[in-house]
Structure 1
Amino acid sequence: MELTDVEPTRTLPGLLLDRASREPDVVALRYARAGSVQTVTWRSYRDRVRELALGLAWRGVRRGDRVAVLSSARPEWVFAALAVQSAGGVVVGVYPTSSPAEIEQVLVHSEAVAFIGETETDLAKVAQIAANTPDLSLVAGIEARPPRLPEGIAGATWDELRSAGEPDARRAADRLAELVAATTLDDPAVLFYTSGSTGAPKGVTHSHRTLHHAIRTVVGLYPESLTQQHDAVGFLPLAHVAPAVLLVFTPLHTRLVVTYCRIEEYREVLRAVRPTALLWPPRFYEKLAAELIERAESWSGLRRRAYQSAMWVGRRAVEQRWSGRRPSVWLRVACAAAVRAVFRPLRARLGMDRLSVSWTASAAIPENVLALWQIWGLDLRENYGLTETGGCPIGHFGRPFPRPGSIGREFPDPRFQVSIADDSEMLIRAPLLFLGYWRDPAETEAVLRDGWFRTGDLVERTADGDLRLVGRTKDVIITRGGKTINPQPIETRLRESRLINEAIVVGDARKYLTVLIEPAADTWPAPMAAERYRAEIERVNADLARVEQLKDFRVLPRPLAVERGERAANGKVKRTAVVNSFAALIDDMYGPNDDRAIADHVRSTPH
């Protein structure tokens, strides 16, 4: 598959049928289960999908129907997704951390006819709200049988769903081929739900065609994956667009083999698999870098001096690369020796020694974190993508060891274009753009006009032509883990309390959310008891997903002031000014900062 000017010819299930026919006994994927790693061939992959697709069709799923899947990263999510698409349906990803209310919102909005859940807990959540979902007719459980459901909604186990279709294998194969052939490239394939910039989630609709072009951009990250096996570890929720595109759909077209595991097992599986391909949010790189720093700083004697010397060499090598100069022969030899003798063994502690190129997206990565991994010999690059873009329309494609601070340039295909509006908002036009927001033409028209998508991100071009993010047009928070959260509904709920006049949720580029509280006027100057504020926060947290919950709070020492720029003349809170005014108070809620430790480590290692 070339990177430029390519049009797809097969739907995603069509790609699966082709692979199973062409190389049935080749390993398609792996998964960790009960302490061991199991393999699935392309033949077995197709057979599992066929059983599920025919079972879903027998249960009444038709072309265009939506089927929701809530599960951790495991092969069953993959089989379910391709089975739904084989039956002509649309996969609706549901986040594993979703509350019953959030599940209800997605099922109602998407008009899902079926729900597939992983655990007994997941199935209990959907049973709790099933009566409020008028289109739901089937609930299936991967690990457990669904509990009692309202009349008109059938329950089934995973095995019952697999065995419900055509029992004759040859007829079943023909029937699957017929179903797959009835789906077109421009049919909706997946709904990815995102909170966006409003309180209500939006269903971002991608077709088989747009996902094909998203796959092409992933191939741009790892071009050799077309001809050589690459290994990845899949533990991030597949309801998110980036893990789904990389870990579910890209392997259909490449030699990427994913080992799926639960998130609590990913460190052990990383060490076992030793991946050659990675695309993580910044927080994982930061967290693991802090662990390796701690290990390196525990060394003594000759080993410590060797590490310090290697850091000196690595730092100078990346500085030369960032400046556009080719390092001297001596420096290249010394850098290679430092990577081989010091940094690669250090990275091997995490199973990251086989990586040469790695990628990060979904949130801004601290420059010191990216710099440190580059010093350690890992060509870590930043790229850019949104749920609406599916893949990575912008990145450092084919440009090793880029200077931290930019997201790169457009994907090398003339159809991928970036325009910068007068207000600095980045507009993108590309064949991977979503079809629109599900059942929401007004929101779609607001961001998608004449083929151009308004990203909501403010950018500037650097002197060498790269794009640099400088801000956002929307009042959203993006955590270090890449979660996009609208703070306004949370703040509104807190202001319902008679104790609270103003609440300012913070957490941009942080590990979690916290909140600054301005007490109600009649409580000044005497502070209220901390327990009463904590009770109000717990009240609000009870209805929030885990990533939206507030982990800590601080009471402001004074009211917000117009003259300090913290409020506009009309009384509206100016978030950036508040964050700047009370930076020390905010830092106090986060304790030791991994980024600060990494920055100190990058700068302070003796020459």
Structure 2
Amino acid sequence: MDLINFQPTRTLPGLLLDRARKDPDAVALRYWRDGSVQAITWRAYANRMREVALGLVAQGVKHGDRVAVMSSARPEWACAALAVQSVGGVVIGVYPTNSPAEIEQTLVHSEAVAFVGETATELNKVAEVATRTPDLRLVVGIDADPPTLPKGVKGTRWQTLSDEGARHHEDGSGLLAQSVAAGSLDDAAVLFYTSGSTGVPKGVTHSHRTLQHAVQTFVGLYPQSRRQEHDVVGFLPLSHVAPALVSIFAPLLSRLVVTYCSIGDYERVLRSVRPTAVLWPPRFYEKLAGELIAQTETWPRLRRAVYDAAMWVGRRVAEDRWSRRTPSVLLRIAYAAALRGVFLPLRAKVGMDRIRVAYTASAAMPESVIAIWQIWGLDLRECYGLTETTGAPIAHFNQPFPRPGFIGRIFPDPRFQVKIAEDGEMLLRAPLLFDGYWRHPTETEAVFQDDWFCTGDLVERAPNGDIRLIGRKKDVIITRGGKTINPQPIETRLRESSLINEAIVVGDARKYLTVLIEPNTPAGGQSTEAVAELLRAEVARVNADLSRVEQLKDFRVLPRSLQVEHGERTANGKIKRNAAVRSFAALIDEMYGANDDEAIANHVRSKSN
């Protein structure tokens, strides 16, 4: 792949068929099963894709149809996506945490004709809403039989579908090849549904062309993946845009090999695979760093003294790197010894010793977390992308060990452009930009300004060209795990209670959501404890209708009402969220307690400071 002048020539299933012809016996992907890693070659991958595709055709799936997939990260997800696309269909990722109501909303809006679910849990959810999804006519269970379904909706197993396709393989393989060859690069390939941060979730439409330009930027993050094998562990749900890009589409145009596993197994698989490429939300780096720091605190005194000395050296090397100074010869020698004798063995405990460069995106990353990994010798960098871009138009592409706090620079292809509007909003032009919101032309038009995509993110540019995120125009929360959540519907539900005057949901850059509550004056002289119990019941009532990532884990009652004179309300009474969060920061911190990034920040600081 030419990183600068890249032009797609084939659809995504066409790329799979090409790889199967050129490298039939090379490993295409791996998966974790029963405590060991199993491999699938490009030939086997293509054959599985053909069988599923022909099985879908036999069940009436045709060009333009939408097929939803709700599953953990596994080879069947990738196979389903490419099989659907090979017959001209569009794959839809359904979040594993979605409630039945959210599944219904997605299926109805997309007019999906088929649903692929992994276990009885997913299949039961879709069965619950199937009578209200008029276009649905096929439900496929990967690991379980579909439950009883309404008349007109057929249930089958994944293996049965594949076997049916295999029976048509000789007669249908030529027709399938023709279907793939007839596919257009500008056909819709995937609908990635947003989390509804500005209202009803929107289907972000990406074509075969835009997805391949997104892969272009990912390969820009790991240029060596064009020439030599890179290993990655795929455990994040493929309904999310970045994991789908990395685990399904990037391997088609690179030598990236994914090992799929469930999120419950990922730490064991990391230690087994020892990946060489990583693109994770911040919380996984934070979690692993917290575990390693905890281990160092249990070491014997002598070993701990050696580690402390290595950290002293690592801090000074990191400070020189951030200032673009060259460390002295003695410091470089000392750091090489610290890396080999201390930091790499430490990273090996979580399978992170083979990685030289790693990336994070999707949420705010505490600078201390970036710093600790860089001190430990992992070149951890931030990058920037949205569902509407899939890939990373902005990143530290060729800037080793960047100073924490910046997302990098625009991808070095003249077709990729960035400018900053008068109000500070970042605007983008790039060939990876989405093709529009599914059947929402007015919503699509609203986010473009003279062919520039309005990101909704406020930025500033440093003199050297590096870009820093400073805020968002939209009133949304992005959790540490990268979930984008609109707090207003949750707050509205809470205010339906006669006990609650105001509610402020918080959780930006945190692991979960909590809420500050301004109660109405309690009647009848009820005690504080009694009011708290009543409020707890109201929070539970609202949580019952929310997906897991939207649920409120704790609440605090405000000690006073929100006031204009404190800057917490506008003159006409509207809440100023940021000001309220600042006013009650200590109360908010109580709901989160001691956290990993505080421990990491303390660990990064030199004891002499």
When the two structures are superposed, what TM-score results if normalisation uses the length of structure 2? 0.98
Counterpart CA distance in 2 for 1:77 and 1:531 is 44
**Corresponding residue for residue 425 of structure 2:** 425
Q: Does 1:15 align with 2:15?
A: yes
Amino acid at match of 1:143: D
Q: Does 1:209 align with 2:209?
A: yes
Match of 1:538 among 522, 525, 540: 540
Counterpart CA distance in 1 for 2:196 and 2:468 is 21
8 A contact 2:195–2:483 mirrored in 1: no
* Cα displacement (A) at 1:298: 1.6
8 A contact 1:166–1:172 mirrored in 2: no
**Corresponding residue for residue 249 of structure 2:** 249
Counterpart CA distance in 2 for 1:166 and 1:366 is 50
* Cα displacement (A) at 1:460: 0.3
**Corresponding residue for residue 382 of structure 2:** 382
* Cα displacement (A) at 1:174: 1.2
Comparing 89-98 with 325-334, greater Cα deviation is found at 325-334
CA offsets 1:271-313 (integer angstroms, 9 cap, x no match) = 0000000000011111111111111122233211111111111
**Corresponding residue for residue 480 of structure 1:** 480
Counterpart CA distance in 2 for 1:426 and 1:340 is 41
CA offsets 1:121-160 (integer angstroms, 9 cap, x no match) = 1100000000000111111100111111111111111112
* Cα displacement (A) at 1:42: 0.5
Amino acid at match of 2:552: L
Counterpart CA distance in 2 for 1:281 and 1:310 is 27
**Corresponding residue for residue 578 of structure 1:** 580
CA offsets 1:188-232 (integer angstroms, 9 cap, x no match) = 000000124322100000000000000000000100001100000
**Corresponding residue for residue 309 of structure 2:** 309
* Cα displacement (A) at 1:449: 3.4
8 A contact 2:312–2:606 mirrored in 1: no
SS of equivalent to 1:264: coil
Counterpart CA distance in 2 for 1:193 and 1:566 is 33
**Corresponding residue for residue 569 of structure 1:** 571
Fraction of identical pairs, as percent: 70
1:130-169 to 2 correspondence within 5 Å? 130-165=130-165, 167-169=167-169
8 A contact 2:54–2:169 mirrored in 1: no
8 A contact 1:118–1:142 mirrored in 2: yes
Amino acid at match of 1:533: L
Comparing 173-182 with 488-497, greater Cα deviation is found at 173-182
8 A contact 2:99–2:125 mirrored in 1: yes
**Corresponding residue for residue 278 of structure 2:** 278
Counterpart CA distance in 1 for 2:413 and 2:168 is 46
Comparing 515-524 with 253-262, greater Cα deviation is found at 515-524
8 A contact 1:29–1:39 mirrored in 2: yes
Amino acid at match of 1:499: L
Counterpart CA distance in 2 for 1:497 and 1:444 is 36
Counterpart CA distance in 1 for 2:163 and 2:73 is 23
8 A contact 1:310–1:338 mirrored in 2: yes
* Cα displacement (A) at 1:179: 1.6
5+ residue gaps, structure 2: none
8 A contact 1:311–1:605 mirrored in 2: no
Q: Does 1:81 align with 2:115?
A: no
8 A contact 1:111–1:135 mirrored in 2: yes
* Cα displacement (A) at 1:525: 9.4
Comparing 64-73 with 525-534, greater Cα deviation is found at 525-534
Comparing 294-303 with 260-269, greater Cα deviation is found at 294-303
**Corresponding residue for residue 123 of structure 2:** 123
Counterpart CA distance in 2 for 1:422 and 1:185 is 36
Comparing 524-533 with 356-365, greater Cα deviation is found at 524-533
CA offsets 1:63-114 (integer angstroms, 9 cap, x no match) = 1110000000011101100101011100000000110000000000001010
Amino acid at match of 1:580: R
8 A contact 1:312–1:606 mirrored in 2: no
Amino acid at match of 2:285: Y
8 A contact 2:247–2:258 mirrored in 1: yes
Counterpart CA distance in 2 for 1:525 and 1:124 is 43
Counterpart CA distance in 1 for 2:288 and 2:305 is 22
Counterpart CA distance in 2 for 1:555 and 1:302 is 48
Change (3 A) 1:419 1:525: farther
**Corresponding residue for residue 601 of structure 2:** 599
5+ residue gaps, structure 1: none
Amino acid at match of 2:89: G
CA offsets 1:511-538 (integer angstroms, 9 cap, x no match) = 1000000102455996453221111111
**Corresponding residue for residue 356 of structure 1:** 356
Counterpart CA distance in 2 for 1:172 and 1:22 is 22
8 A contact 2:420–2:427 mirrored in 1: yes
Counterpart CA distance in 1 for 2:483 and 2:66 is 25
* Cα displacement (A) at 1:542: 1.0
8 A contact 1:317–1:327 mirrored in 2: yes
When the two structures are superposed, what TM-score results if normalisation uses the length of structure 1? 0.98
8 A contact 2:51–2:169 mirrored in 1: no
8 A contact 2:50–2:169 mirrored in 1: no
Counterpart CA distance in 1 for 2:444 and 2:588 is 36
1:467-506 to 2 correspondence within 5 Å? 467-506=467-506
1:221-370 to 2 correspondence within 5 Å? 221-370=221-370
Change (3 A) 1:605 1:231: farther
8 A contact 2:447–2:454 mirrored in 1: yes
8 A contact 1:229–1:257 mirrored in 2: yes
